[in-house]
Amino acid sequence: MHTREEKLEAFGRFLDILDELRVKCPWDRKQTNESLRPNTIEEVYELCDALIQSDKKNICKELGDVLLHVAFYAKIGEETGDFDMADVCTQLSDKLVFRHPHVFGDATAETAGQVSQNWEQIKLKEKDGNKRVLSGVPSALPSLIKAYRVQDKARNVGFDWAEREQVWDKVKEEIDEFQAEVANMDADKAEAEFGDLMFSLVNAARLYHINPDNALERTNQKFIRRFTYVEEHSIRQGRPLKDMSLDEMDSLWDEAKKKGL
């Protein structure tokens, strides 16, 4: 691994290259916060893909792409006179120190859960922080992740089940309510109840220390592997999938499952 000096030198070289590109490259020169934003979202998702696949080489590459966007926004801020990379780093460092009094102050936190709870309390007290408990949850978050975050934030101020086993009664209640609206053929109410059911399942996952987004993505990847196995067999047989019976596809699916796919 590299020394601190080597890391600082590498970061400095990167910033120098970005400065030069911003002046000399037509594409880099024309970029704005608005034009970069869609690409930033894409780069974050590509990093997430690499993390899910535990592809260490690709993780390193995608981290670089995300870092480029962070530095690019800071460069634009420097050009407008609003802030620069030093301000970004200083503000982040100050926030980390302030929110970790158990490391840099006199507070005590023995577990990760206590640290998380302390964080929420500290953020509510910050002069320029979010005054409402849930106001810090970005509205643009994917719904599944947002559900987990709002529940977790509510938990940190004491709004939670007394015993985690109690959540199962809520899950069963939501299943019954969803089934009732499906039976009534009321599409709007069925959608609303399905949302309640999903929210309760996310709550159950949280209470049992399972990240629902990670869990669902694992199932997505498993389904893709097994379905691809079925599709590859249909290709080798020279038969389109639509010409195979469900029993034939189920048989191949079971094969894939036995192979550990």
Residue 100 inside a domain? The answer is no
Indicate whether 32 and 68 sit together in one domain: yes
Of the residues 189, 207, 225, the one at which a domain ends? 207
In this predicted structure, what is the pLDDT of residue 124? Answer: 64
Structurally, the chain folds into a number of domains equal to: 3
Q: Collect all residues with Cβ–Cβ distance below 8 Å to 240 and sequence separation of at least 6.
A: 234
Q: Residue 68 and residue 34: Cα distance in Å, rounded?
A: 15
Range of the structural domain that residue 253 is part of = 214-258
Q: Retrieve residue 33's tokens.
A: 């916060």
Q: What is the CATH number of the domain that holds 82?
A: 1.10.287.1080
Please tell me the least confidently modeled range out of 99-103, 105-109, 154-158, 203-207.
Answer: 105-109
Which residue shows structure tokens 């953020």? Answer: 123
CB 101 within 8 Å of CB 117: no
Is there a single domain that holds both residue 219 and residue 165? no
pLDDT tens string 112-152: 777 777 776 776 666 555 567 887 788 878 899 999 999 98
